[in-house]
């Protein structure tokens, strides 16, 4: 039924399964459809685990929330320039509030106890979707920040024109826009140039 | 005795199994929490990230945190922005840098005297760093968390000796894996707290040449952290908690008590490690090399400051220093206005809450002095 959605995803997802105790993750592994997921299990810890992440380039990482290795994943985005990846936590603690809170705090998804085949697929799908949504939001935030600083420059340049040329706000804006059009530049660039020239004048005064 | 009503008496407090969780363990084992009317559950955690997430999601009411973590939480570094505060410094110092035995021997080979003086200067590593860089296999050091004093101290250690931080690799490894990573040669050294340095030395695989006392003397290491809203809703309870911890920290001043604390920490539910690797740092002794004399390091693990009224106060100026190092390590972008930084930090390092709790504690002591009989009754009850 969801064939259309399936097409947008890569054919097989690389899943890195990090386990502390051998028996614990087996239910998860069993419930992952081999047609859909390429599963690599690692039980080692420390740097060799990081190497596994580097060489496998997993699409998704599944790890026990009580694993000490969590701190290492935490540093992946901080210290190295590795690509951020969705991380799914699992735990035997069965508490809906915990799950909701942790998911709200940025863990992509949270699996509790033993899980069945039907559920695991949807959990992973949701985790992937949530993760890309988060990445989109992050990118959007970055764009908005850039936009804000652009507006700041234009506002400053307008103010400078109003103070030095006795323009009103509309005149100042038109002046900037005309200069931008005449030089086929962005308003932001014109504003920036104007401000840097203004700074030189201020300095020589 | 008249006592202000507690909002709650049950508290879940998270801790990491490290030597400097001593104040929490002492307060629990000695019945100090109980004496202050609190029923505290100490919950052992395996990773700083999970401890933080549990505190943020209120699965924990309070937790022992690395001193930079409350700041990272407020800035949303590696997590969703959350109002975490600290009203109490649990410990100062306690970290050390340990080199692998192989690296130590390589360094000795480059020196004429075949001996190094302590504290071990980073400059001695210069030749090896250069050599390994040429080989395309940079020296690799590990630390325990991106937002930790360990990380910033390791940075300072190299930078202060004029070593380019880009000439070495710094990775994060969970403390529990530190010793095995050093033994296997995956890393050439690490900066961590106790008992991991002493354990490397005791196992004959490491050389501890320098401690955080030598790098950033008497700097806050672990703090008691909680959500700002939790403190606001439980003011009296938190005041009692701080009073209990303050008592535990004072108790930890005497050498005999330190040894007793080391024994408490050996238990399975806490560190689950032999007393031979827990006790030395608590007693101001730094194991440096197997079959060598330990080095005397005053205040290697310190739980109070020797300044009246500031024994466990979270000083804003120290929070600002952490922020400065976060900026130096490019974890945060610099702020143009230093006033904004001060406002931010004074909202996290809450000197005011500490002061208020201690003022109440002093007032209670005065009452006790005036009424010696009721004091005894109170203690017996």
**Range with top average pLDDT, A99-103, B160-164, B364-368:** B160-164
Residue A174 inside a domain? The answer is yes
DSSP assignment of B301-330 equals EE-S-SSTT-TT---HHHHHHHHHHHHHTT
Predicted confidence at residue B249, as pLDDT, reads 97
Predicted confidence at residue A118, as pLDDT, reads 63
Same domain membership, residue A100 and residue A26:
yes
Residue B24 inside a domain? The answer is yes
With CA atoms as reference, the chain A residue closest to B172 would be A72
Residue A140 inside a domain? The answer is no
Cβ contact B103:B137 at 8 Å: no
Full domain range(s) for residue A98: 3-115
Strands B39-44 and B189-193: unpaired
At A142-152, the pLDDT tens digits run: 788 878 877 88
> Which chain B residues touch A107 with a CB distance below 8 Å?
53
Same domain membership, residue A190 and residue A151:
yes
Q: How many CA atoms lie within 13 A of B195 on its CB side?
A: 22
Predicted confidence at residue B340, as pLDDT, reads 84
Cβ contact B23:B252 at 8 Å: yes
Task: Examine the fold and report which residue of B180, B215, B250 is the final residue of a domain before the chain moves on.
Answer: B215
Task: Examine the fold and report which residue of B215, B238, B261 is the final residue of a domain before the chain moves on.
Answer: B215
Number of A/B CB contacts below 8 angstroms equals 86
Read off the pLDDT of each residue in B105-111 and give the average, rounded to a whole number: 88
Q: Other CB atoms closer than 10 Å to residue B341's CB: what's the count?
A: 18
Backbone angles phi, psi at B186, to 5 degrees: -65, -35
Task: Examine the fold and report which residue of A74, A100, A115 is the final residue of a domain before the chain moves on.
Answer: A115
ω into B119 cis (within 30 of 0): yes
Same domain membership, residue B310 and residue B347:
yes
Same domain membership, residue B207 and residue B109:
yes
Pick A71's closest partner by Cβ from B57, B172, B180.
B172
Same domain membership, residue B83 and residue B117:
no
Taking the C-alpha atoms of residue B84 and residue B327, their distance in angstroms, rounded to an integer, is: 20
Q: Find the CATH number of the domain harbouring B130.
A: 3.40.190.10
Residue A126 inside a domain? The answer is no
Write the CA distances from B189 to B101, B276, B345, integer angstroms.
9, 22, 32
Same domain membership, residue A151 and residue A107:
no
Residue A139 inside a domain? The answer is no
Answer whether B173 sits within 8 Å of A46, measured CB to CB.
Answer: yes
Full domain range(s) for residue B127: 95-215
Same domain membership, residue B228 and residue B363:
yes
Answer whether A71 sits within 8 Å of B59, measured CB to CB.
Answer: no
Cβ contact B40:B28 at 8 Å: yes
> Which chain B residues touch A72 with a CB distance below 8 Å?
171-174
Same domain membership, residue A104 and residue A48:
yes
Q: Find the CATH number of the domain harbouring A21.
A: 3.40.50.2300
With CA atoms as reference, the chain A residue closest to B180 would be A46
As for the ipTM of the complex, it is 0.76
Same domain membership, residue A23 and residue A100:
yes
State the total domains in chain B.
Answer: 2
> Which chain B residues touch A70 with a CB distance below 8 Å?
46-47, 49-50
Same domain membership, residue B353 and residue B230:
yes
Same domain membership, residue B337 and residue B239:
yes
Q: How confident is the model at residue A4 (pLDDT cuts 50, 70, 90)?
A: very low
With CA atoms as reference, the chain B residue closest to A104 would be B80
Taking the C-alpha atoms of residue B143 and residue B280, their distance in angstroms, rounded to an integer, is: 21
> Which chain A residues touch B14 with a CB distance below 8 Å?
none
| B209 Rama sector, left if φ>0, alpha if ψ -120 to 50, beta otherwise | alpha
B241 vs A10, which has greater pLDDT? B241
Answer whether B53 sits within 8 Å of A75, measured CB to CB.
Answer: no
Predicted TM-score (pTM) of this structure: 0.79
Q: Which of B12, B47, B181 to mutate to test the interface with A (most CBs of A within 10 A)?
A: B47
Answer whether B56 sits within 8 Å of A46, measured CB to CB.
Answer: no
Residue A128 inside a domain? The answer is no
Q: How confident is the model at residue A7 (pLDDT cuts 50, 70, 90)?
A: very low
Residue B284 inside a domain? The answer is no
Residue A83 inside a domain? The answer is yes
Query: Measuring CA to CA, which residue among B203, B206, B73, B211 is closest to residue B145?
Result: B73
- Residue length of chain A: 205
Percentage of residues of chain A with pLDDT beyond 90? 2
Answer whether A72 sits within 8 Å of B173, measured CB to CB.
Answer: yes
Same domain membership, residue A14 and residue A94:
yes
Read off the pLDDT of each residue in A6-31 and give the average, rounded to a whole number: 64
Is residue A5 scored above 80 in pLDDT?
Answer: no
By a Cβ cutoff of 8 Å, what residues of chain A touch chain B? 45-48, 50, 65-75, 77-79, 97-98, 101-102, 104-107
State the total domains in chain A.
Answer: 2
Strands B189-193 and B95-100: antiparallel
Taking the C-alpha atoms of residue A73 and residue A77, their distance in angstroms, rounded to an integer, is: 8
Answer whether B173 sits within 8 Å of A73, measured CB to CB.
Answer: no
Residue A191 inside a domain? The answer is yes
Write the CA distances from B68 to A78, B72, B201, B331, integer angstroms.
15, 6, 28, 12
With CA atoms as reference, the chain A residue closest to B46 would be A68
Same domain membership, residue B124 and residue B60:
no
Sheet containing B139-143: give its strands across.
Answer: B168-172, B139-143, B189-193, B95-100, B206-211
Taking the C-alpha atoms of residue B370 and residue B366, their distance in angstroms, rounded to an integer, is: 6
Residue A71 inside a domain? The answer is yes
Taking the C-alpha atoms of residue B300 and residue A27, their distance in angstroms, rounded to an integer, is: 46
Same domain membership, residue B190 and residue B110:
yes
Taking the C-alpha atoms of residue B290 and residue B206, their distance in angstroms, rounded to an integer, is: 8
Q: Find the CATH number of the domain harbouring A153.
A: 1.10.10.10
Q: Name the burial class of residue B16, with classes exposed (0-12), middle (13-18) and buried (19+) by CB atoms within 10 angstroms of its CB.
A: buried
Of the given ranges (A92-96, A186-190, B53-57, B124-128), which has the lowest mean pLDDT? A92-96
Same domain membership, residue B247 and residue B155:
no
Taking the C-alpha atoms of residue A112 and residue B228, their distance in angstroms, rounded to an integer, is: 29
Answer whether B174 sits within 8 Å of A71, measured CB to CB.
Answer: yes
At B263-296, the pLDDT tens digits run: 999 999 999 999 999 999 999 999 999 988 899 9
Task: Examine the fold and report which residue of B195, B215, B235 is the final residue of a domain before the chain moves on.
Answer: B215
Residue B110 inside a domain? The answer is yes
Cβ contact B110:B127 at 8 Å: yes
Residue B288 inside a domain? The answer is no
- Alpha helix positions (H), A16-116: 22-31, 47-56, 70-76, 96-104
Residue B79 inside a domain? The answer is yes
Answer whether B79 sits within 8 Å of A105, measured CB to CB.
Answer: yes
Q: How confident is the model at residue A35 (pLDDT cuts 50, 70, 90)?
A: confident
> Which chain A residues touch B50 with a CB distance below 8 Å?
65-66, 70
Same domain membership, residue B333 and residue B184:
no
Taking the C-alpha atoms of residue A194 and residue B182, their distance in angstroms, rounded to an integer, is: 57
Same domain membership, residue B180 and residue B114:
yes
Same domain membership, residue A108 and residue A13:
yes
Same domain membership, residue B358 and residue B342:
yes
With CA atoms as reference, the chain B residue closest to A63 would be B50
């Amino acid at each position: 039924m969801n064939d259309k959605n399936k097409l947008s995803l890569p054919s097989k997802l690389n899943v890195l399964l990090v386990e502390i105790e051998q028996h614990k993750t087996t239910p998860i592994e069993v419930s992952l459809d081999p047609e859909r997921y390429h599963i690599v299990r690692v039980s080692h810890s420390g740097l060799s685990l990081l190497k596994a992440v580097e060489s496998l380039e997993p699409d998704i990482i599944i790890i026990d929330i009580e694993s000490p290795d969590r701190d290492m994943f935490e540093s992946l985005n901080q210290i190295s320039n590795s690509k951020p990846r969705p991380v799914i936590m699992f735990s035997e603690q069965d508490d809906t509030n915990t799950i909701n809170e942790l998911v709200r705090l940025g863990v992509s998804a949270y699996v509790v106890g033993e899980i069945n085949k039907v559920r695991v697929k949807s959990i992973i799908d949701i985790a992937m979707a949530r993760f890309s949504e988060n990445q989109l939001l992050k990118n959007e935030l970055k764009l908005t920040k850039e936009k804000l600083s652009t507006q700041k420059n234009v506002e400053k340049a307008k103010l400078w024109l109003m103070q030095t040329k006795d323009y009103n706000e509309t005149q100042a804006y038109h002046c900037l826009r005309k200069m931008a059009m005449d030089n086929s530049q962005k308003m932001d660039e014109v504003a920036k140039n104007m401000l840097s020239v203004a700074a030189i004048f201020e300095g020589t005064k | 005795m008249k006592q202000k009503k507690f909002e709650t008496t049950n508290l879940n407090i998270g801790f990491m199994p490290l030597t400097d969780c001593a104040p929490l363990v002492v307060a629990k084992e000695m019945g100090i929490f109980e004496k202050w009317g609190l029923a505290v559950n100490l919950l052992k955690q395996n990773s700083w990230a999970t401890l933080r997430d549990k505190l943020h999601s209120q699965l924990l009411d309070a937790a022992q945190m690395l001193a930079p973590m409350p700041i990272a939480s407020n800035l949303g570094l590696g997590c969703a922005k959350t109002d975490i505060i600290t009203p109490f410094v649990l410990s100062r110092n306690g970290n050390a840098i340990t080199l692998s035995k192989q690296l130590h021997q390589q360094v000795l080979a480059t020196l004429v005297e075949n001996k190094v003086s302590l504290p071990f200067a980073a400059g001695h590593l210069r030749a090896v760093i250069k050599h390994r860089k040429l080989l395309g296999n940079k020296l690799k050091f590990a630390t325990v968390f991106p937002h930790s004093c360990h990380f910033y101290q390791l940075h300072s250690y190299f930078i202060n000796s004029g070593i380019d931080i880009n000439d070495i690799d710094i990775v994060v490894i969970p403390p529990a894996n530190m010793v095995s990573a050093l033994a296997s040669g995956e890393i050439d050294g690490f900066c961590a707290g106790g008992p991991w340095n002493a354990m490397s030395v005791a196992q004959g695989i490491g050389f501890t040449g320098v401690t955080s006392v030598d790098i950033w003397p008497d700097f806050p290491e672990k703090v008691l952290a909680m959500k700002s809203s939790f403190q606001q809703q439980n003011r009296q309870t938190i005041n009692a908690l701080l009073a209990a911890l303050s008592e535990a920290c004072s108790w930890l001043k005497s050498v005999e008590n330190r040894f007793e604390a080391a024994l408490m920490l050996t238990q399975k539910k806490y560190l689950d490690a032999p007393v031979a690797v827990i006790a030395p740092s608590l007693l101001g002794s730094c194991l440096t090399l197997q079959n060598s004399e330990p080095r005397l390091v005053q205040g290697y693990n310190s739980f109070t400051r020797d300044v009246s009224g500031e024994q466990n106060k979270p000083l804003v100026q120290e929070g600002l220093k952490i922020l400065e190092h976060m900026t130096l390590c490019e974890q945060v972008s610099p702020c143009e206005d230093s006033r904004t930084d001060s406002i931010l930090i004074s909202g996290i390092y809450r000197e005011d809450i500490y002061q208020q709790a201690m003022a109440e504690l002093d007032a209670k002591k005065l009452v006790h002095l005036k009424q010696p009989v009721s004091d005894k009754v109170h203690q017996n009850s």
